[in-house]
Amino acid sequence: MNLSLIVPVYNEQDNLPLLFESIKESMDSLGKTWEVIYVDDGSRDNSLPVLSAQAEKDPEHSRVISFRRNFGQTAAIAAGLDYSQGEIVVLLDADLQNDPRDIPMLLQKLDEGYDLVSGWRKQRKDNAITRNFPSMLANRLISWVTGVQLHDYGCTLKAYRRPVLEGFRLYGEMHRFIPVFANSVGARITEVVVNHQPRRFGKTKYGLERTVKVILDLFTVKFLVSYSSKPIYLFGGTGMGLMVISAFIMLYLMIRRLFFLVSVTGSPLFQTSVMFFILGFQSMLMGLIAELLVRTYHESQRKPTYTVRTRINIDD
Ligand code: UDP
Ligand code: MG
């Protein structure tokens, strides 16, 4: 299998027939073997019957997974990844806001030697105030924090080589952070401008509150990619910093006491110093506990702390 498309579907009954056509049209022109996995995320409308009918009509390409309830877009994508077989994976929304006709262009970029090609909705057709503006700020923040330079993390339409999708699981709203995880395993990443359509049928499932979730997820992701194999650097670094500040304050207080006879305990700096010392020491201890956890995490799953791109004269 060359190519797997993964499409999360939640209450999209009116979009699906057009989507089927559009996917078939752009896939047939490619000359690759392909499958599309529709993940019905507990839809309450007619999406599942529509999908089942399609699977029956086109058993060669169309596969369907149906959740017992709504677990969210990220979970739907994760399931699609688990059940797909293609060497290349393309993710795509079901609401026709992404255009399947862009897929050949993404694949061509992969052929140029990239492991991940990200779609960029340069002319995005969503609500400017609740979606586009906060999303622009979030994109900049993510790029700045993670060092992965992309304009549009939120665009579902992206193409991936399978190996860069292995080695991490998706939680919360984290599908937009796949490029960050992929970058941490050494993927070559690029982006291309893709079409974006306004939604014609059904309505969006998200609003402003999503930006908050994205920012919280960013903390977790940054910690995971930067410190998950060496948490003591973060906790110990913070702890040592606090203890050094504490020591300087104490030194200052002692000098004042010795040469200018100012009482040590009368100054609020004294409490500050003691507090910084305790916090710093605690933080170091937490770092040590985190180091133990990391060993459990990597060793229980036999997860290596590195990723290999090629091997020469070495078998599996
Ligand atoms: N979706 C999903 N589960 C959810 C919410 C959304 O599978 O809980 C799907 C939805 O059917 C669509 C895609 O995820 O295919 C993107 O959702 P939506 O169009 O509402 O997001 P937006 O384009 O407004 O960011
Ligand atoms: Mg949409």
On the question of pLDDT at 316 being above 80, the answer is no
Q: What is the CA radius of gyration of the chain?
A: 25
Whole-prediction pTM = 0.89
Strand order in the sheet with 34-40: 62-66, 34-40, 3-9, 88-91, 158-161, 116-120, 189-193
**pLDDT one-digit tens code per residue, 235-246:** 999 999 999 999
Where does the pLDDT of residue 307 fall: very low under 50, low under 70, confident under 90, or very high at 90 and above?
confident
pLDDT of residue 251: 97
CB 205 within 8 A of CB 10: yes
Rounded CA-CA distance 15/22 in Å is: 11
| Residue 70 CB partners (closer than 8 Å, separation 6+) | 10, 41, 42, 43
- Ligand nearest the Cα atom of residue 12: 1
**pLDDT one-digit tens code per residue, 93-141:** 999 999 999 999 999 999 999 999 999 999 999 999 989 999 999 999 9
- Which helix (H) or strand (E) segment holds residue 40: the answer is strand 34-40
Tell me how far the alpha carbon of residue 9 lies from the centroid of ligand 1, in angstroms: 7
On the question of pLDDT at 292 being above 80, the answer is yes
Report how far apart, in Å, the C-alpha atoms of 9 and of each of 41, 156, 160, 197, 246 are.
6, 12, 20, 17, 55
Where does the pLDDT of residue 211 fall: very low under 50, low under 70, confident under 90, or very high at 90 and above?
confident
Tell me how far the alpha carbon of residue 17 lies from the centroid of ligand 1, in angstroms: 17
Q: Among 18-32, 231-245, 294-308, which is the least confidently predicted range?
A: 294-308
pLDDT of residue 302: 81
Q: In 3-state terms, what secondary structure has residue 190? A: strand
Tell me how far the alpha carbon of residue 202 lies from the centroid of ligand 2, in angstroms: 9
Rounded CA-CA distance 261/255 in Å is: 9
Ligand 1 neighbours, Cβ below 6 Å, are 8-10, 12, 41, 70, 72-73, 76, 93-95, 97, 126, 204-206
- Which helix (H) or strand (E) segment holds residue 64: the answer is strand 62-66
